Amino acid sequence: MAAFREVWEMDHIEKKLPVGIENFEKIRTEGFYYIDKTGMIVDLLQKWGEVNLFTRPRRFGKSLNMSMLKAFFEIGGNREIFDGLRIAEETTLCEQYMGRFPVISISLKDVEGDDFAAARSMLCSVIGSEALRFQFLTGSGRLTVNEKEMCRQLTVIGGGSDGVFAMSEAVLTASLKTLSMLLHKHYDSRTIILIDEYDVPLAKANEKGYYEQMVTLLRKMFGSAQ
């Protein structure tokens, strides 16, 4: 018993608490404690739905779970970070789904402002930054000239000194749908879209008095995504 306790303590002394860290891969590769929640991947795949909403209290780990899902599904991900976890026991599911999909992952936690224009600019920045991850699409042999131009429109920088993304209303409202469609065509695989902190822009808009404008914009964006 004494020997077992000594080994257990040494193993746990080496691990660090992931305070403020919401990146699943970083936690798994840099020796932080991790409470295995990969069983939720099994639940998702067995109860598959076109749209899944996760509602939990603050600080419950929703953002970390979003990061975990991205790491699991995204093409080119590091499979080894799931070694020893619950999901690794589901070999058939892993073979079918792990690293098989293009993934769009955005967090809206910083989308706020004193007025609608400022919040909209922040939203453009979130979408534009994510679209930059997929700039290779502009050279894809599977996309037409027009489709490549659609991709470029998501990352156009305005002419001002602030260097913000300049998206028209039409480009912004269709941005998730556009990026999803382009990734689908390039990879010939359905796209997974992960949206974290979706309620923050609405809460901030409600505080500042532009709730109706923000809810209309997000409804158009989310409603058209597929």
Side chain identity at 95, as an amino acid letter?
Answer: E
Q: Is the pLDDT of residue 226 over 90?
A: no
pLDDT at 8: 40
Residue 39 makes CB contacts below 8 A (sequence gap 6+) with: 86, 87
What is the pTM (predicted TM-score) of this model? 0.88
Q: Is the pLDDT of residue 215 over 70?
A: yes
Q: Estimate to the nearest angstrom the gap between the alpha carbon of 170 and the chain centroid.
A: 22
pLDDT at 10: 46
- Tell me how far CA of residue 32 lies from CA of 27, 60, 73, in angstroms: 5, 17, 22
Domain boundaries, given as residue ranges, for the chain: 1-100, 102-226
The 10s digit of each residue's pLDDT in 21-58 is 889 999 999 989 999 999 999 999 988 777 777 766 56
The 10s digit of each residue's pLDDT in 117-129 is 999 999 999 999 9
Mean pLDDT along residues 180-200: 96
Mean pLDDT along residues 129-150: 97
* Lowest-confidence segment of 35-44, 106-115, 159-168 by average pLDDT: 159-168
DSSP letter for each residue of 30-81? TTB-----THHHHHHHHT--S-------TTSSHHHHHHHHHHHHBTT--GGG
The 10s digit of each residue's pLDDT in 59-73 is 566 899 999 999 999
